[in-house]
Structure formats: structure tokens, C-alpha cells
Amino acid sequence: MLAGGLKSSTALAATVASMAKATAPAAGLRAYEWTKARILDGTFPSGDMISEVSVSEALGVSRTPVREAFQRLQSEGTLELYPKRGALIKPITPRDMRDVMEARLLIEPWAAAAVARLHNRSELLEVVEHHVEVVESAQLPNDAVQFQEADRSLHEAIVAATENALVARFYESLRYRQLRLGAMVLTRVRGRSQEIHREHREILEAIRSGDATGAAQAVHRHVVGTRDALGLDSEPRIVPMPDVGDDERDDGTE
């Protein structure tokens, strides 16, 4: 009887340990996504300190997955960790804003022109249209994170479709800073979301029609609109509309 009971206890302990291992990644991801969302929607403003205790209590999880979430956010450049004090939400400086917007202006018009020239772009168009519709369905301010994630995914899909791995990897590195800037725009400028809807449709239709120059110009206007909404002066390092070369259209037909 004793041996049987010991064996049952050992099996139970192993089961509990296995369940703990299985739920730990889920708890860590939940803590990461929740904290990221609170930063993006402004609940945790830039420059504030947050603690593992406050997040763990809000989510009903232990401090370990929260610590892992904070470490991941630090690796992305969003938090700065201070032992025994908490985590600082790193402010985005005007220089950070300018750097991100200049990078976008260098990459995105070129990418839009490149994919507009692709002969087979039906799959890309389906992906872009899906993200456009998700952005349009977002009810602000409650769905601000959905809006930003879909907006970013739309542009990411266009860059990825160029099949330039180096550019795609660099563009991916801008992701979280781009999300935070987008959130700032939505809170600062009334009516900007409606302008974004219109600009996305212009980009989509230019790519659909195979208009490389029109696609590049539409993206350029879109990014400049966001830059201006952030209050950034384009001088002295203005990024001009790139020359996309031959304006031959590809309507995607045989």
C-alpha cells in the first residue's frame, strides 16, 4: 500500500510539474502581449516605471513570466530594467521618430513599386486587402492595438513580397518602434485614422493595377502624412520621392 501510494504521489508530482512547464510559456506570452498592449494604448505612458508585481497582480500570474516578458521587451528596446526598482518605459525621442520615418521613406515606396511590377501578385493583394479591412474594422480607441498591428502587417507584407531578405530583415527591426509611433499619431491627430483608410486603399489599388509609380507615390504620401502628424520637420534631411524607373504597367494578365 505504501509503495502504491508513493508511486501515485510521484506520478502526481510529475503531472503537476509537466503542467507547470506547459503553462509557463503561455503565461509569459500573455504577460508580454498584455504589457505591450498597455504601452501601445497609452495606459503605460512613455517615461513611466512599471513593476513586475503590478503586472503579475493584474494578470493573476507569478512574477516569473512577467520577468521574462520584461526581458523580451527590453531586448526590443521598449523597456529599460532596473533591479529592485522595476522597468522604465523608454521614451521615443524626436531623433528616434525621424530615424524611423526616414527609413520608411527610403524602403516603402521602392517596395511598393517593386511589387506592383510583379506579374503574379494575386496572393499579395489578398493579404494586403485583408489587412486593410482589419484596419478599417477597428473601433478606436478600444481597438488601437488591432489597428496598429494590422497596419504594420500590411506594410510588412509589401516589403516581404519584394523577396529582398536583407531589406525585409532590416524593416522587421523597425516593427515595435513603428507600432509605438502609430499609436502616438492616433492619439495626437483627430481624423488621421480616416486619412489612413483612404491612403491604404490608394496603395492597394495602385498595386492591383500594376502602376509602379502610382504605388510608390501613394506610399510616399502615406508615410509623409504620418511624419507630418508626428510634427516632424522634413528639413534638413528630407527624403525625396524616389525615381522608380520605367512606368510600364503590369495588369497581371497573360
Asked if residue 2 is part of any domain, the answer here is: no
Asked if residue 191 is part of any domain, the answer here is: yes
- For the sheet with 49-50, list strands across it: 49-50, 86-89, 79-82
The CATH number for 215's domain is 1.20.120.530
Say how far apart CA 108 and CA 88 lie, in whole Å. 31
Same structural domain, 206 and 138: yes
Whole-number pLDDT of residue 254: 43
Does the pLDDT of residue 253 top 90, yes or no?
A: no
Asked if residue 112 is part of any domain, the answer here is: yes
Same structural domain, 150 and 70: no
Same structural domain, 84 and 103: no
Same structural domain, 30 and 134: no
Domain closes at, from 69, 89, 109: 89
Same structural domain, 55 and 109: no
Mean local confidence (pLDDT), 116-131:
96
Same structural domain, 74 and 98: no
Say if CB 205 and CB 126 are below 8 A apart: no
Does the pLDDT of residue 217 top 90, yes or no?
A: yes
Residue 88, beta-bridge partner list: 49, 80
Say how far apart CA 201 and CA 218 lie, in whole Å. 9
Top-ranked range on mean pLDDT: pick from 67-76, 154-163, 174-183, 231-240: 154-163
Domain closes at, from 44, 65, 89: 89
Domain closes at, from 89, 122, 144: 89
Whole-number pLDDT of residue 186: 83
Mean local confidence (pLDDT), 120-125:
96
Contacts of 235 (CB under 8 A, 6+ apart): none
For the chain, percent of residues with pLDDT exceeding 70: 82
Does the pLDDT of residue 248 top 60, yes or no?
A: no
Does the pLDDT of residue 53 top 80, yes or no?
A: yes
> What does the pLDDT look like over 162-208, one tens digit per residue?
999 999 999 999 988 888 888 888 888 888 999 999 999 999 999 99
Mean local confidence (pLDDT), 228-252:
66
The CATH number for 56's domain is 1.10.10.10
Q: Structure pTM?
A: 0.76
Same structural domain, 34 and 131: no
Same structural domain, 83 and 164: no
Same structural domain, 42 and 167: no
Asked if residue 185 is part of any domain, the answer here is: yes
Q: Which residue has the cell 488601437?
A: 144
Asked if residue 189 is part of any domain, the answer here is: yes
- Give the pLDDT band (50/70/90) at residue 234: low
Does the pLDDT of residue 22 top 80, yes or no?
A: no
> What does the pLDDT look like over 221-233, one tens digit per residue?
999 999 999 988 7
Same structural domain, 71 and 172: no
Say how far apart CA 138 and CA 148 lie, in whole Å. 9
Same structural domain, 110 and 178: yes
Asked if residue 121 is part of any domain, the answer here is: yes
Asked if residue 153 is part of any domain, the answer here is: yes
Does the pLDDT of residue 10 top 60, yes or no?
A: no
- Give the pLDDT band (50/70/90) at residue 245: low
Question: 133 is in which domain, residue-wise?
Answer: 94-229
Whole-number pLDDT of residue 21: 47
Domains held by the chain: number: 2
Top-ranked range on mean pLDDT: pick from 9-13, 95-99, 141-145: 95-99
Same structural domain, 145 and 224: yes
